[in-house]
Structure 1
Amino acid sequence: MKIKTFTLNSRQEVISKIVREILNLFKVEITGSKGEADFLQLSVVNRQLTPSEDGTGRGVTVESRLLLFDKEGNQQEFCRRDEGKGDEREAAARHRLIKLNLYHIFREYLGAEAAPWGILHGVRPTKIVHRWIRGGAGQQEIIERIQKDYACSLEKAEIIVPMAFRQLPFLQTSDDKTVSIYVGIPFCLTRCLYCSFPANILPGEKQLRQFMEVFRRDLEAGKKAVEQYGFKVQNIYVGGGTPTSLPGEFFAEMLEMVYNAFYGPGLAEFTVEAGRPDSITPGKIEAMQRFRVSRVSVNPQTMQQRTLKLIGRQHTPEAVEEMFHALRGAVPHINMDLILGLPGETAEDVRDTLEKVTALEPDDITLHALAIKRGSRLKLLMEERHVELPSDAETRKMSEVALSFMERGGYQPYYLYRQGYMSGDLENIGCARPGAEGMYNIQIMEEHQTIIGIGGSATTKVVDPVTSRLRSVFNAKDLATYLRDIDVYIEKRKQLLEEIYGNAR
């Protein structure tokens, strides 16, 4: 639907944001006065009814009206109202009901296609499920409620709810003093077409040495914090970028520093993102084995040669298989990442990719739906109409194909998150064989545990043990800024940890 102008009866940023989420979900485009449009104007009017108006007195009731004006000035008006639940905060109920009302107006009156996740637009939809679990709700009750309150499809509800219950034993392994360490190595050999991550093309030896010196200071400060507050390190995750893009000597040095700082008898997981075959050597595999890396992420994204070339990957599907077999004897646990919705691909391409990947028998597989990010070359090429993506319908077929392979292979969903502008309105979902779940993935996605971030573009996320609220500080995404201002970032992390944990020592 294309409209010339849009109006909303609220200037609150949060209201504007949630209304525009619905407009984006249903691909409503605001063309402005110069563009061709189906309607002259779309207006949204929301109001919270008083107890005397709603006639129930039970809680929050919101009425939403959507007005459409055609090119002749004729007006169509659609109205819907709904009431909140007793366990919702007033503001949360009001915001949910605005989205739900508008969603149903688009579906019931304007013929819009149902969205798989309904109005669940947040990054971590499982957090809602965990809140209801803590309130004592059972699995079937939550499946029914998430469909009604969030218009979530039965298919997605039957993924996310059992998954949240499966996460409980993992989340219970962590207490107030249990933390994970994230290590950011912000380098890649090349930049993929779809990438918007803060990664730098691998620099020369002089700048790498400068990075390693700054990284050592960052690491030592993180180690001191762990010792100072008596933290127990549960997981170490070395990500990026592509950490294995570091030359062999630098890679081994980095692993040794991390190992000496944080490895201990209580460590559950030591993960390194190995990424792609052109970044792996026998020496790097030996270093990972020597420093007891327990989990490696191999990210082919696709096993279609033409797609690999298009997205900027300088390797073949055969090289992925060779890399996998080389790592299999050295590292106990291998994860593989795939992307659904890549340019030019079909559901049959995904079927072929999954046949090749599952034949390798990785321990877990992460299925990503392509997210179109502003900072990526793909976004620019789409705007210039040089690249076309599969339709939402085709991307959803890809997801159905991929999940059927997961079910047949004995892989169960164990963590999930969503991003903006995802193909097919889908999700990123990690699937593992029982016993092979990635502990760090569960902890960080459920924001249940403090994560101490070290390195380029790393984030420290501190969970307040009293309020359970999350607070964060960030290292610079820009490499030059990180190298220049490392003392600033160390101090910010130090102050946040002291503020949250200082009185608990």
Structure 2
Amino acid sequence: MIIYFSYQPEYLYDALHELIRMAYPDAALVRDNTGPADMEIAVNLKERTHIVSVQGSIKEGTRATAEQQGFELEMGEDGRRNEIKKRARTFMLRLLEKHLGQPVNSYGILTGMRPVKLIHRFLDQGMQKQDIVSRLEHEYRLQREKADLLVEVAGNERPCLLDPESARRLVSIYIGIPYCPGRCNYCSFSGAVLHNYRSELVPFLAALRKEMEAIGLLINNLGFKVQSIYLGGGTPTVLSTEDMSRLFELLYHRYISSATVEITVEAGRPDTLNPAKLRQLEKLGVDRVCINPQSMNDFTLLQIGRNHNREGVVRSVEWAREAGIKNINMDLIVGFPGETLRENMYTAEKILLLHPENITVHTLAIKRGSRMAEMGKAVDSAQRVEEVRQGVDCFAAVFRQAGYLPYYLYRQKYMRASMENTGYSLKGHLCLYNIQMMEERQTIVGLGGGGASKFVNPGDWSLSSLYNPRNPDSYVENVETLIRRKVDKLKALP
């Protein structure tokens, strides 16, 4: 489906685009009406001093839906633009739901990645939880179950958030190793499948050590302490034991101290693991590993391009336990083609037999450029949307009954059924890095390929961001510039 989308003024694009995409996830939204379109959506907003009027229409074949609304602005100039955007989103949601005759998005007008941040802002203002739920329902148009979930997640996270004084001295570190042994069919990044260790990883690691040395020295000179470290990717366990040891040697020299309470390594691909590698990680001080099956159904694993089966997952977890790893996370994905509630239940049962401390349930996001998108697997029928929702609800019910609490949550573009990704944890095993990274209440320094840095001002929790290129060649080529930019940002922190 091709949808022609026009709007006035220009700043409405970001406010409205995501809502339309959630209503029509597989449509192509175009702004230049140079050819035929299956649907036309138009919004026109006019501002006066204290009054805003908005008109909108949807034309689809012989069917047309129209709405108009006027509202008063009660706030000053500082918050005017944000208030107009919020009102415009509410208007667009109502227009879409009127046209479709059904709800568009269980999260109402919240389309961003980090909806729980809003809850923490309300809690900072002294609002009670029941008042927050009511506000989410009526002002932001969330369904009650999602409003309850966001408030519950925020409550579980709250004890782990830093106060402003602690946030001025504690940082966390992300190190990106953007290589995998193969490419999964739902992955949209094809540039970092490891083909030749010597020609690809060796120059990348040399650039990474250069960045780690420079930033580690500065962190120490500025008096920061590292609270948590997360080695992500890609799949960091593609590293040889020698290179992993060298990386940790540098970590202990520049980053790890008595303030470091958590070290995570993504061991996401079971086909990169063996007993010796896991014993090495434990000896290096790693206390949390992620072993990510995505599904425990062998047919699905074959279809999505994973080079392991269910037994390989079980073996890897057993090796990790034998090595003495204290915390294991396991990622699952809801929404794979061919998986229904029956397959989801099977996966949940097999995962619980392994007793992981953390389980992260993702909703499949099929992005352009992935093999699934190229194979035409991205289409959502009404039945498929319902199956995905049932799968998410199934995992939530089964894991809650087993004693797991939802402790962090985020959303992504192109998610099936417009749902969420939720991390579940047994009590006492919450991943600090996940919470700090998602709620943006701590400076995160991202190193390596794809490393995202968030520089936080604890005075008002405002932040600025820097992103390292995910492509390894681009990272190696630009590492000196990346270091300079990061140094400037760290020195400017209050």
Q: TM-score, normalised by structure 1?
A: 0.89
In the alignment, the residues of structure 2 paired with residue 367 and residue 19 of structure 1 have an alpha-carbon distance, to the nearest angstrom, of 28
The alignment status of 1:343 with 2:332, answered yes or no, reads no
| Aligned twin of 1:205 | 198
The alignment status of 1:192 with 2:184, answered yes or no, reads yes
| Aligned twin of 1:152 | 142
Letter in 2 for 1:23: I
Unmatched 5+ residue regions in structure 2?
A: none
The alignment status of 1:233 with 2:188, answered yes or no, reads no
Shift of 1:18: 1.9
Shift of 1:78: 2.0
| Aligned twin of 1:464 | 457
The alignment status of 1:93 with 2:86, answered yes or no, reads no
| Aligned twin of 1:270 | 263
The alignment status of 1:107 with 2:97, answered yes or no, reads yes
Asked whether the 8 Å contact 1:79–1:105 carries over to 2, the reply is no
| Aligned twin of 1:21 | 18
In the alignment, the residues of structure 2 paired with residue 215 and residue 21 of structure 1 have an alpha-carbon distance, to the nearest angstrom, of 36
| Aligned twin of 2:240 | 247
Letter in 1 for 2:148: E
Asked whether the 8 Å contact 2:279–2:320 carries over to 1, the reply is no
Shift of 1:487: 1.4
2:375 is paired with a residue of what secondary structure? helix
Deviation digits for residues 277-309 of structure 1 (CA, Å, limit 9, x no counterpart): 110122211211111111111110001111111
Aligned-CA RMSD value: 2.6
Instruction: Give the alignment of 1:4-403 within 5 angstroms.
Output: 5-10=4-9, 12=10, 14-27=11-24, 29=27, 35=36, 37=38, 41-48=40-47, 50-51=49-50, 62-69=52-59, 76-81=65-70, 89-108=79-98, 110-172=100-162, 174-197=166-189, 200-202=192-194, 203-329=196-322, 330-382=324-376, 391-403=384-396
Letter in 2 for 1:458: G
Q: TM-score, normalised by structure 2?
A: 0.91
Change over 3 Å in CA distance of 1:216–1:5 after alignment to 2? closer
In the alignment, the residues of structure 1 paired with residue 202 and residue 60 of structure 2 have an alpha-carbon distance, to the nearest angstrom, of 64
Greater RCO, CA 8 A, separation 6+: 2
Change over 3 Å in CA distance of 1:400–1:204 after alignment to 2? same
**What is the aligned counterpart of 2:446 among 433, 453, 471?**
453
In the alignment, the residues of structure 2 paired with residue 184 and residue 379 of structure 1 have an alpha-carbon distance, to the nearest angstrom, of 25
Shift of 1:388: 9.4
In the alignment, the residues of structure 1 paired with residue 246 and residue 351 of structure 2 have an alpha-carbon distance, to the nearest angstrom, of 32
Instruction: Give the alignment of 1:368-447 within 5 angstroms.
Output: 368-382=362-376, 391-447=384-440
Deviation digits for residues 390-446 of structure 1 (CA, Å, limit 9, x no counterpart): 721110011111111121111111111111110110111101111110000000000
Unmatched 5+ residue regions in structure 1?
A: 54-61
Letter in 1 for 2:343: D
Using the aligned pairs only, state the percent identity: 33
Shift of 1:466: 4.0
Change over 3 Å in CA distance of 1:266–1:399 after alignment to 2? same
Size of the aligned set, in residue pairs, is 485
Letter in 2 for 1:21: E
2:493 is paired with a residue of what secondary structure? helix
